[in-house]
Structure 1
Amino acid sequence: MLSQHPIYLSVCLSVCLSVYLSIYLSIYLSIYLSIYLSIYLSIYLSIYLSIYLSARLKHFSTNQIVRLLYNAFWLWHPRPKCLPWQKSGAISIWKAVLVGKHHGMA
Structure 2
Amino acid sequence: MTSNDAAHSPLYAKLLAETAKIGWLELERFFARGMLLRVASDLDLVSVAEAIASDDTAQITQWLSAGLVERVQSETAADIAARDPDLWAVVVSPWICVQERH
TM-score, structure 1 normalization:
0.20
Higher helix share: 1
Higher strand share: 2
TM-score, structure 2 normalization:
0.20
For CA contacts below 8 A with separation 6 or more, give which structure has more relative contact order: 2
Larger radius of gyration: 1
